[in-house]
């Protein structure tokens, strides 16, 4: 009989507040979950539910505004680095059909090393929603803290000093992306889905549980596996930068968001894409070399720019 596959559920608070045995158990289960599935679900964590609930209310308010209002907030710097990206702009790598979504980008505001300032365009804020800035920055900072904890645990599993990931995460070019998936319009391209199969462009993604289902991962047996969560939980998955660093030991897992059975259903999600700082060289961690390095070392910013071009967010 086949064993029912399910994304592992872990307690982050056991890592934060538990005994050393609790911490070790979390690290072991995290590593096994990311290795086997590429995804884990945090059933408890350090992000205040009141903050996420308010963020969802404000995100809903923004995306319900007329198109001409939202379009005022497209980032002049290009690449969708900040502010609004319209419906149908982004597509998955090697997929010509647009995703059925629109989104907003919030980036880091506090920079420790001023040499990175040119990599961080100013955030853009909708003047129609005065509370938007404070709430989104609060959520950004909270998810950033959670991402640091997750990378600490991953670092323990990979036998690197805590400073290894902490140094690359300082001034990391991370992005909070509230996403709106509107009802499926009858004229939408038949080949398009809410988010076509792709891998994330980062170290890890920490995502606030979406308002409805639809997220699926491509399991190791080649079958699509639903990732079931609620709005109180966080979903964590590995990106392609971590895949390079770990020589494929922790692979970037293909995932997608499928169209709902009810075409009138709206979906919101808020992933936090955890990035290193632009100076980071992605090269194999010693404990992962095995029989040899599979990837050439690459600068993280160059890798990011290449991947953004592949998904239609920049032409550079």
Q: What are phi and psi of 15, to 5 degrees?
A: -80, -40
In degrees, rounded to 5, the angle at the alpha carbon of residue 136 between the alpha carbons of residues 315 and 68 is 55
Q: For the chain, 316 residues long, give each residue's pLDDT as a single digit of tens.
A: 345 789 999 999 999 999 999 999 999 999 999 999 999 999 999 999 999 999 999 999 999 999 999 999 998 876 678 999 999 888 888 888 889 999 999 999 999 999 999 999 999 999 999 999 999 999 999 999 999 999 999 999 999 999 999 999 999 999 999 999 999 988 888 889 999 999 999 999 999 988 998 999 999 889 999 998 888 899 999 999 999 999 999 999 999 999 998 989 999 999 999 999 999 999 999 999 998 999 999 999 999 989 888 887 766 5
Q: What are phi and psi of 268, to 5 degrees?
A: -125, 145
Res 106: pLDDT: 97
- Distance, in Å, from the CA atom of 98 to the CA atom of 138, rounded to the nearest integer, reads 31
Looking at 232-285, which runs of residues are DSSP E strands? 234-238, 255-257, 267-274, 281-282
**Chain centroid to CA 244: how far?**
17
Helix ranges, 117-268 (H): 132-157, 162-169, 240-245
* Domain 9-310: assigned CATH number: 2.60.120.330
- Distance, in Å, from the CA atom of 223 to the CA atom of 189, rounded to the nearest integer, reads 24
- Distance, in Å, from the CA atom of 60 to the CA atom of 52, rounded to the nearest integer, reads 12
SS3 of residue 298 by DSSP: strand
Instruction: Output the CA–CA distances (angstroms, integers) from residue 173 to 23, 111, 140, in the order listed.
Output: 28, 10, 12
Instruction: Output the CA–CA distances (angstroms, integers) from residue 83 to 62, 137, 143, 206, 209, in the order listed.
Output: 11, 13, 18, 20, 22
User: What's the whole-model pTM score?
Assistant: 0.95
- Distance, in Å, from the CA atom of 94 to the CA atom of 166, rounded to the nearest integer, reads 33
Res 1: pLDDT: 35
Instruction: Output the CA–CA distances (angstroms, integers) from residue 247 to 41, 120, 192, in the order listed.
Output: 24, 29, 32
SS3 of residue 112 by DSSP: coil
Write the CB contacts of 158 (distance below 8 Å, at least 6 apart in sequence). 246, 249, 285, 287, 288
Res 2: pLDDT: 45
Provide the sign of the torsion angle of the four alpha carbons 313, 309, 209, 172, taken in this order: negative
């Amino acid at each position: 009989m086949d064993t029912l596959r399910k994304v592992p559920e872990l307690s982050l608070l056991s890592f934060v507040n538990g005994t050393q045995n609790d911490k070790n158990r979390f690290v072991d289960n995290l590593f096994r979950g990311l290795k086997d599935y590429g995804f884990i679900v945090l059933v408890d964590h350090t992000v205040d539910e009141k903050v996420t609930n308010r963020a969802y209310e404000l995100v809903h308010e923004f995306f319900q505004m007329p198109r001409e209002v939202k379009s005022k907030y497209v980032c002049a710097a290009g690449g969708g680095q900040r502010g609004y990206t319209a419906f149908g702009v982004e597509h998955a790598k090697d997929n010509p059909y647009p995703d059925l979504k629109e989104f907003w980008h919030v980036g880091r505001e506090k920079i420790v090393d001023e040499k990175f300032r040119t990599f961080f365009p100013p955030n853009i804020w909708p003047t129609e929603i005065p509370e938007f800035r404070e709430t989104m920055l609060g959520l950004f900072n909270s998810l950033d803290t959670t991402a640091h904890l997750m990378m600490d645990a991953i670092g323990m599993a990979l036998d690197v000093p805590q400073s290894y990931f902490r140094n690359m995460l300082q001034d990391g070019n991370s992005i909070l992306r509230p996403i709106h998936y509107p009802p499926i319009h009858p004229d939408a391209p038949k080949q398009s889905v809410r988010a076509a199969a792709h891998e994330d462009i980062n170290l890890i993604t920490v995502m606030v549980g979406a308002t409805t289902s639809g997220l699926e991962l491509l399991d190791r047996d080649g079958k699509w596996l639903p990732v079931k969560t609620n709005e109180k939980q966080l979903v964590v998955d590995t990106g392609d930068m971590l895949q390079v660093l770990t020589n494929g030991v922790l692979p970037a897992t293909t995932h997608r968001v499928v169209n709902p059975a009810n075409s009138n259903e709206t979906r919101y999600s808020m992933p936090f894409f955890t990035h290193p700082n632009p100076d980071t060289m992605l090269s194999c961690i010693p404990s992962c070399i095995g029989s040899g390095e599979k990837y050439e070392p690459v600068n993280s910013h160059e890798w990011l720019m290449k991947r953004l071009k592949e998904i239609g967010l920049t032409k550079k």
